[in-house]
């Protein structure tokens, strides 16, 4: 977060008290955001300090979503994620562990949506989101999750590489035809879908990644902000399922 002050001619004499007060406020906000970002990649815009959580604005889960686990599960965790976010990479492992425990019982499902923070990851984040959508179109839900799991498992985060150098390997791993993928990837077909996910993440209160919302019988009951550890997510799930 940054605060800009516009200086105009004749307005150079700023009272010292105002300067000191401004410094204290800026310092406190910096500390708060630093603490928040320890498990979250914060979006540069809109301002994280202006976040208003409104979980009711979450878009309904449909058969267009990417779901791991029972699509009819009583509890769903909808995650808005950035493929290049190191905290998303960590949380991806947590969620896979959650599905391994709760998936066989059909109680919990994981819904993956896109929240590419291009101000932080301009090289790869949106490209990866679009690539995953093309994989899903050509190979189905299983191919999407193969691509996504392999991406988080084998690639560095924070734009430390060039996705175009690894796409052929990732697409082949997902079992999708490279020629058909290339046609989809360059078509712009999924630009709107990725943007809709991003917009909905912001509408619900997301200002960083990962941003997740717990649904119980289709209704939002709790947010999960950042890369919370397995024990914390499990506690939220068990509490919700006991109601």
Is residue 73 one of the residues assigned to a domain? yes
The number of C-alpha atoms within 13 Å of 90 and in the hemisphere containing its C-beta is 16
Q: Is 21 within a domain?
A: no
> Is residue 186 domain-resident?
yes
Q: Is residue 96 part of a domain?
A: yes
Predicted pLDDT at 30: 28
Spatial distance between the Cα atoms of 97 and 103, rounded to a whole number of angstroms: 9
- CA dist 134 → 128, 131, 188, 210 (Å): 10, 5, 10, 22
Helix segments in 40-124, DSSP class H: 86-102
As for how many domains the chain has, the answer is 1
pTM for the model stands at: 0.81
Range of the domain at 91: 55-241
Residue at 26 is within a domain: no
Q: Is 33 within 8 Å of 42 (Cβ atoms)? A: yes
Residue 139, domain CATH: 3.40.30.10
- φ, ψ dihedrals at 110, nearest 5°: -115, 125
Rounded to an integer, what distance in angstroms lies between the CA atom of residue 34 and that of residue 186?
37
In a domain, 37, yes or no: no
Residue 123 lies in a domain: yes
Residue 62 lies in a domain: yes
Q: pLDDT tens string for the chain (243 positions)?
A: 322 223 233 333 333 333 333 333 233 322 333 333 347 776 544 444 445 899 999 999 999 999 999 999 999 999 999 999 999 999 999 999 999 999 999 999 999 999 999 999 999 999 999 999 999 999 999 999 999 999 999 999 999 999 999 999 999 999 999 999 999 999 999 999 999 999 999 999 999 999 999 999 999 999 999 999 999 999 999 999 998
Q: Is residue 203 within a helix (H) or strand (E), and if so which, with residue range?
A: helix 191-204
């Amino acid at each position: 977060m940054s605060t800009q002050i516009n200086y105009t001619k004749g307005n150079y004499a700023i009272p010292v008290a105002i300067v000191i007060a401004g410094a204290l406020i800026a310092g406190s906000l910096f500390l708060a955001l630093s603490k928040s970002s320890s498990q979250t990649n914060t979006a540069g815009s809109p301002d994280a300090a202006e976040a208003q959580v409104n979980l009711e604005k979450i878009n309904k889960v449909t058969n267009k979503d990417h779901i791991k686990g029972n699509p009819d599960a009583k509890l769903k965790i909808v995650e808005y994620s950035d493929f290049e976010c190191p905290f998303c990479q960590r949380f991806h492992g947590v969620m896979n562990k959650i599905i391994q425990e709760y998936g066989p019982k059909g109680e919990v499902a994981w819904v993956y949506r896109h929240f590419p923070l291009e101000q932080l990851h301009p090289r790869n984040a949106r490209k990866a989101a679009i690539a995953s959508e093309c994989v899903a179109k050509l190979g189905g839900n299983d191919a999407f999750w193969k691509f996504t799991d392999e991406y988080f498992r084998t690639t560095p985060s924070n734009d430390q590489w060039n996705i175009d150098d690894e796409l052929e390997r990732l697409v082949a791993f997902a079992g999708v035809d490279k020629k058909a993928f290339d046609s989809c990837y360059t078509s712009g077909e999924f630009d709107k879908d990725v943007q809709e996910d991003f917009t909905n993440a912001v509408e619900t209160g997301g200002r960083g990644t990962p941003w997740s919302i717990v649904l119980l019988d289709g209704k939002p009951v709790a947010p999960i902000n950042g890369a919370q550890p397995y024990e914390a997510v499990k506690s939220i799930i068990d509490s919700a399922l006991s109601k």
